[in-house]
Amino acid sequence: MSNQDDFEKHAATIEAIDAKDVKHPNMPVGIFFQEAEDLYNWLQKDRKALVAAGLDQSVIDTLPARAGAATYIQSQWNSLRLGKEEAQKQFAKLAPYVYDLRDTLVHHMLYAFRKHPDLKSRVQAIADGSGDADMIQDLSDLGVHGKNNPEPLMAVNFDMGLLDEAVQKSDETASLLGAARGEVKDKETKVMRDKAYTYLKQSVDEIRECGRYVFWRDEARRVGYASAHFRRTRGKRDSAPAQTETIDAP
């Protein structure tokens, strides 16, 4: 399941988080997301002990999806932070490739589906039109159309991986184009980013709290239930001259 799928699956729960309960990142979010993944791997050995101590099984099971959802919306927020000008530059750089990818898919599909009039006519309908937005939709539609009808494509030794590439590039290019045109709403995306971070943090905090409780006399296991980032930060602060530290947490 992709990060976007994770987000869409949990979007209603994330959006329902009350504004007063929203937490804001106190460390770089990329580091926090990695720590969440590390925590999930670490706890597998202790799963039974944590559940026996009262930790809800669903808190463990949903951790990867919560991290995926937060990662996805963070990517959307990052695309806004690039700024319109930077997004325009990135879109211009990517455009030749994605246009060529669209044309490549159309070329192969028209031949592969030549003996299937209904499938071929669908490709022709998708290919009709022009412009950046149309191209982005074409990539998505062609990817889905190919996945739904793989046999004729496989018969001509078509690279089926291009279908996944088309869907991925459609999503990526759509985000860039929206930022380049200033069509996306950064405020709403920032709110959702913070809520998705909160949703992930709720799970991480519960697991860490339970882990520290269970392994209070086992330092070797307890260490995995604390933030490595803050442990390193404290170590640097304790060994450095007194100064004011600012953590960038976009």
Which are the contacts of 10, defined by CB distance < 8 A and separation ≥ 6? 62, 65, 66, 69, 199
From the list 75, 83, 81, the residue with the least C-alpha distance to 30 is 75
Q: Last residue of some domain: 181, 201, 217?
A: 181
What is d(CA 42, CA 34) in angstroms, rounded to the nearest whole number?
12
Tell whether 164 is covered by a domain. Answer: yes
- Nearest Cα neighbor of 203 from 75, 64, 71 is 64
Q: What is the pLDDT along the chain (250 residues), one digit of tens a residue?
A: 789 999 999 999 999 999 999 999 888 898 999 999 999 999 999 999 999 999 999 999 999 999 999 999 998 888 777 677 788 888 999 999 999 999 999 999 999 999 999 999 999 999 998 899 999 999 999 999 999 999 999 999 999 999 999 999 998 898 888 877 765 567 788 899 999 999 999 999 999 999 999 999 999 999 999 998 888 877 655 554 444 333 344 5
Tell me, yes or no, whether 145 lies in a domain: yes
Alpha carbons 7 and 30: distance in angstroms, whole number: 17
> Are 138 and 101 in a shared domain?
yes
Q: Are residues 150 and 232 in the same domain?
A: no
Regarding whether 30 and 93 lie in a shared domain, the answer is: no
**248 in any annotated domain:** no
* Phi and psi based region of residue 21 (left: phi greater than 0; alpha: psi -120 to 50; beta: remaining): alpha
**Range of the structural domain that residue 166 is part of:** 84-181
Q: Is residue 245 part of a domain?
A: no
Does residue 137 share a domain with residue 156?
A: yes
Same domain, 192 and 73: yes
Same domain, 60 and 30: yes
Domain identity same for 127 and 174: yes
Q: Is there a domain that residue 244 lies in?
A: no
What's the pLDDT at 82?
Answer: 64
Are 177 and 210 part of one and the same domain? no
**Global pTM value:** 0.57
Could you tell me if 50 and 15 lie in one domain? yes
pLDDT for the residue numbered 86: 82
* Whole-number pLDDT of residue 114: 95
